[in-house]
Amino acid sequence: MTVSTTEPAPDAPDPADAANTEDAPDGPDAASPPDPTASALAVRSLTVSFGHGRRRRTVVHDVSLTLAPGECLALVGESGSGKSVTARSLIGLAGPDAAVRAEGLWVNGRDATGFRERDWRTVRGRVVGLVSQDALGALDPLRRIGAEVAEPLLVHSLATRAEVPGRVNALLAGAGVPEPEVRARQYPHQLSGGLRQRALIASATAGGPRVIVADEPTTALDVTVQARVLELLRELKESGTALLLISHDLAVVAQLADRIAVMTDGRVVESGPAADVLGAPVHPYTRTLIASVPGRRPPEPAPRAPAGEGDVRPLLSGTGLVKRYASPGGGRRTAVSHVDFTVAPGETLGVVGESGSGKSTLAALAMGLLAPDEGEVLLDGGPWSALDERRRRPLRRDIQLVHQDPLGSFDPRFTVRRILDEALSVAGPARAVRRRERAAELLDQVGLDPELLERRPARLSGGQRQRVAIARALATGPRLLVCDEPVSALDVTVQAQVLELLARLRETYGLAMLFISHDLAVVQQVSDRVLVMRDGVVVEQGPVAEVLGAPAHPYTRTLLASVPRLPDHAS
């Protein structure tokens, strides 16, 4: 049977397809198939492919899911696992290029296999609402928040024009948006990330849907904001709305899900009650996924007490650092305010904070890319921030940077060889032949096949790119790596591998690191000491075990409490 998404669907069932899917190995839910007509959302043997003929790629294979009313089912997987395509197919929005086939599809108990676009439109926003990732992109930037929230009401004629403002205010207030009248008249870019996400949830719930499909609803948010948005989703669930939660983050999922389905390569490899999947995972992939969640592994036994505290001269230190930026409305905004830090040789200093806390400005100050307005950064006890660039340049090989977004930090036209060669030409061997060998060695050190030398960044995976970025940083033989959110854009299993690589490099080369992240769990895993920043101020710093084990500052405690964790019984 064919379920077409945007074009009118041929209704005739295809007996051959039905026969095929029946022969196929049973989906994980097949053992006890619940009655789909009593479900909020159900699909049997969903297969989605793109393209035609030889270029046809099947991205979802034989997926069966059932979401009961008022239940939260989490669909967990890494990028490219097919989880978002699955979710979109369930509301008929897989796109015009997608071929969607399913043995059965039920929306709120209604058979949707023969749905035409017109039928789908009556369902979307009214029976099923969608909340996507990154509300900045998911809300029309040219329309007021109020107009976006009101759209489902007007599309489904659920309110008259006169009733709309009142309904919008109530919806925004219900989603926890303060001053709804003011916010309704603003545009998405004028709201913070958390408020935008709430507004998006308000618009998804405006039509009073029975089901909410939430695709990575908290991924772009700070942890404290994430905790509050998850709370809002929980309230929705408790009020009887069924929730299909799609996420790459097992820890987030563990907060909400009643049942979990794990997807990889377009297939559901394991599904069941949340406690079972997290506590006694059967499939090896689920186990890898759980093991990769940062902060799960026990902290290194003894803190790698770097060669002597105190008496050893720090490799890099900053005192009384202040950096102000001109703010758009006139006046100046203090991004970094009276910050002191030291990094001893071989030590890793973690800097943790939410967006706008000044951590990236601190990285730029440490790199000598920004000049502090007050205070000074010293390298080996000698001047660093006070040097003029001509004198600083020969020393730059000692401090190298690893970005969050390696793709953006590479010239897309360069091959990996040229990317590394450029870095080597600064401080590597003089002869080109030797540099070629060295480039291959560097790739080997970061665990990549030297065959990748001729590739361009666009043809590398996210993890491979970050490894190349690390190799480039290593090319000059640095003593300190400044890592600014180095694993934030990576899938959790890849993240675990890259963190492992960084740990290994640190051991092997005695590298010191200034490790900046919004993710407490990641910082906890890699750092010797940690520095907690908020609004440009260091609120707390000290050894990791001390700061995160017994936080003294209320903000650190809030931050820690907001981090979603896997339940203790998780394997």
Partner 1 sequence: MNRRLPPAARWLLHRAVGAVLVLWGAASLAFLVLHLVPGDPVTTLLGASATDSAALRQEILREYRLDDPLAVQYAAFLGRLATGDLGSSYQQQQPVSLIIGEQLGDTAQLSLSALVLLVAGALVTAAATAGRRRRVRGAVSGAELVAVSTPAFWLGIVLLTVFSFRLNLFPVAGAGDWRSLVLPVVTLAVPFGSLLAQVLREGMEAALHQPFALTARSRGLSGTALRLRHALRHAAVPAVTLSGWLAGGLLGGTVMVETVFARPGLGRVALDAISNRDIPVVVGLVLLSAAVYLVVNAFADLLCLWADPRLRSPA
Binding site for partner 1 (CB under 8 A): 6, 88, 91, 93, 96, 117, 121-126, 128-130, 132-134, 137-143, 151-152, 155-156, 187, 189-190, 200, 203-204, 206-207, 213, 328-330
Query: 123 vs 521, which CB is nearer to partner 1?
Result: 123
Q: Please, what is the minimum distance in Å from the beta carbon of residue 545 to partner 1?
A: 40
Query: 18 vs 155, which CB is nearer to partner 1?
Result: 155
Give 348-387 as a 3 state SS string: EEEEECCCCCCHHHHHHHHHCCCCCCEEEEEECCEECCCC
Q: Find the helix packing angle between 223-238 and 554-562, rounded to 10°.
A: 50
Q: Please, what is the minimum distance in Å from the beta carbon of residue 385 to partner 1?
A: 28
Query: 142 vs 302, which CB is nearer to partner 1?
Result: 142
Q: Please, what is the minimum distance in Å from the beta carbon of residue 83 to partner 1?
A: 15
Query: 151 vs 265, which CB is nearer to partner 1?
Result: 151
DSSP state at residue 133: S
Query: 139 vs 378, which CB is nearer to partner 1?
Result: 139
Query: 149 vs 482, which CB is nearer to partner 1?
Result: 149
Residues written for the chain: 571
Residue with structure tokens 């759980």?
290
Q: Give the C-alpha separation, 419 to 77, whole Å.
A: 32
Q: Please, what is the minimum distance in Å from the beta carbon of residue 221 to partner 1?
A: 16
Query: 99 vs 503, which CB is nearer to partner 1?
Result: 99
The burial of 456, by beta-carbon neighbours within 10 Å (0-12 exposed, 13-18 middle, 19 or more buried), is given as middle
Query: 200 vs 232, which CB is nearer to partner 1?
Result: 200
Q: Please, what is the minimum distance in Å from the beta carbon of residue 300 to partner 1?
A: 41
Q: How far is CA 496 from CA 95, 431, 527, in A?
A: 33, 36, 15
Q: Give the C-alpha separation, 548 to 543, whole Å.
A: 8
DSSP state at residue 499: H
Q: Find the helix packing angle between 145-155 and 164-174, rounded to 10°.
A: 110
The burial of 142, by beta-carbon neighbours within 10 Å (0-12 exposed, 13-18 middle, 19 or more buried), is given as exposed
Q: How many CA atoms lie within 13 A of 313 on its CB side?
A: 6
Q: Please, what is the minimum distance in Å from the beta carbon of residue 218 to partner 1?
A: 16
Q: Please, what is the minimum distance in Å from the beta carbon of residue 2 to partner 1?
A: 18
E strand residue ranges, 227-285: 242-247, 259-264, 267-273
Specify whether the CB–CB gap between 243 and 72 falls below 8 A: yes
Q: Please, what is the minimum distance in Å from the beta carbon of residue 105 to partner 1?
A: 16
Q: How far is CA 58 from CA 3, 99, 112, 248, in A?
A: 15, 9, 22, 21
Closest among 451, 458, 484, 491 to 470, alpha carbons compared: 484
**Phi then psi dihedrals of residue 212, to 5 deg:** -115, 125
Q: State the chain's maximal CA–CA distance in angstroms.
A: 81
Q: Please, what is the minimum distance in Å from the beta carbon of residue 524 to partner 1?
A: 32
Specify whether the CB–CB gap between 172 and 180 falls below 8 A: yes
Query: 146 vs 478, which CB is nearer to partner 1?
Result: 146
Q: Please, what is the minimum distance in Å from the beta carbon of residue 236 to partner 1?
A: 16
Q: Give the C-alpha separation, 472 to 416, whole Å.
A: 9
Q: Please, what is the minimum distance in Å from the beta carbon of residue 151 to partner 1?
A: 5
Q: Please, what is the minimum distance in Å from the beta carbon of residue 220 to partner 1?
A: 12
Query: 156 vs 456, which CB is nearer to partner 1?
Result: 156
Q: Give the C-alpha separation, 176 to 171, whole Å.
A: 9
Specify whether the CB–CB gap between 212 and 204 falls below 8 A: yes
Q: Find the helix packing angle between 223-238 and 193-205, rounded to 10°.
A: 20
Q: Please, what is the minimum distance in Å from the beta carbon of residue 126 to partner 1?
A: 6
Specify whether the CB–CB gap between 425 and 432 falls below 8 A: no
Query: 298 vs 330, which CB is nearer to partner 1?
Result: 330
Q: Please, what is the minimum distance in Å from the beta carbon of residue 124 to partner 1?
A: 4
Query: 107 vs 254, which CB is nearer to partner 1?
Result: 107
**Phi then psi dihedrals of residue 380, to 5 deg:** 55, 35
Query: 213 vs 349, which CB is nearer to partner 1?
Result: 213
Query: 29 vs 216, which CB is nearer to partner 1?
Result: 216
